[in-house]
Amino acid sequence: MYNDYIDNRTCAVVLGTNEVASAVGVRLSLAGWTVILSQDKADPVLRRKTSFHDVLFGETVTLSGVTGSLAETAVDIVRSLRQDAPLVVTPLDLMDLITVRKLDLLVDARTGTGEKPDLRWLAQKSIGIGKGYATGVNCDKAIGFSSGLPTQRLSSRARRSAAANSYVVSPTDGDWHTAIEIGLRVYVGTAIGSVNGFSVYAPCCGTVSGIVRDGTAVRSSAKLAEIVPEYQTGTWEDLDRTGHMIGQAMMAAIDGSRPRWPDKHAI
């Protein structure tokens, strides 16, 4: 009876808690899906104000009217499905989740590099987002980050400058510590945190649009912060235009705005 109940829930599992995964989760939730976001522990999240990542640490996060709820165990997930929670964030990985219930839809929205797994055998439909995924090869449908997404019109010099200066990386493996908040304006040479006693400084003037949460374990060369230069503007909270377009591309990839499997209210 336990499994019969949850197997009738129309559910999408999204790998990642970053801004891309969160944009996908919001759009699916608004379209009637129950969504589970699974943390990618290997890739620290920078743009936390445009993602559900901080739900993992007990914070309340609402994006475009959708509020994420924390589920730390399989029992918590089942309880959330019973309570009809629209979006659940969990530290459980994919192997844990496939033992809870069958997957109607699986979306890999992780931004890390490396070889991409074959998702097709894990769900009724699978979608891979970003470089490394190909339709019919390792997923049922692939979505490129740049396909249909807006790009900011900058001069070649400005683009080179942004690429060189906007990210701050870790000098070593260790625990990241910072008191800097997203949205803060910083200047060249501002100390923004430290890893294992090694101080990290802002390489340019601008606004902190993303920063890894204090206390996170990071690897050498991992991105710790993103600083948007003075000539750029943007939204550091809630979904931006790119996030909404990612969500739209997601819905086009699943051939409609409503779930194709049993209605999520069926018992």
- Residues 240, 234: contact at Cβ < 8 Å? yes
Structure token digits, residue 226: 């993103």
Between CA 264 and CA 250 the distance in angstroms is 19
CATH of domain 2-148+240-253: 3.40.50
Residues 6 or more apart whose CB falls under 8 angstroms from that of 56 comprise 17, 39, 70, 89, 91
- Residues 249, 148: contact at Cβ < 8 Å? yes
Topology classification of domain 156-229: OB fold (Dihydrolipoamide Acetyltransferase, E2P) (2.40.50)
Single out the residue of 231, 189, 181 nearest to residue 208, CA to CA. 181
Q: Between 234 and 160, whose confidence is greater?
A: 234
pLDDT above 90 as % of the chain = 52
Q: Is 127 helix (H, G, I), strand (E, B) or coil?
A: strand
Q: Between 103 and 92, whose confidence is greater?
A: 92
| Across 2-11, 146-155, 160-169, 173-182, least confident range | 146-155
Report the pLDDT value the prediction gives residue 8, as an integer from 0 to 100: 58
pLDDT band at 235 (very low <50, low <70, confident <90, very high): low
pLDDT band at 232 (very low <50, low <70, confident <90, very high): low
| Across 40-49, 149-158, 246-255, least confident range | 149-158
Per-residue pLDDT tens for 204-220?
899 999 999 999 999 99
| Extents of the domains making up the chain | 2-148+240-253, 156-229
Structure token digits, residue 88: 């659940």
Residue 139: C-alpha distances to residues 7, 44, 95, 165, 198 (Å):
23, 24, 17, 35, 41
Q: Do domains 2-148+240-253 and 156-229 have the same CATH topology?
A: no
Q: What is the mean pLDDT of residues 88-104?
A: 89
Between CA 142 and CA 130 the distance in angstroms is 8
Q: What is the mean pLDDT of residues 85-101?
A: 89
Between CA 17 and CA 26 the distance in angstroms is 12
Per-residue pLDDT tens for 15-73?
999 999 999 999 999 988 889 999 999 889 999 999 999 999 999 999 999 999 999 99
Between CA 212 and CA 224 the distance in angstroms is 5
Single out the residue of 213, 188, 225 nearest to residue 53, CA to CA. 213
Structure token digits, residue 95: 């192997």
Q: What is the mean pLDDT of residues 188-192?
A: 94
Q: Between 164 and 116, whose confidence is greater?
A: 116
Over 50: is that where the pLDDT of 150 sits?
Answer: no
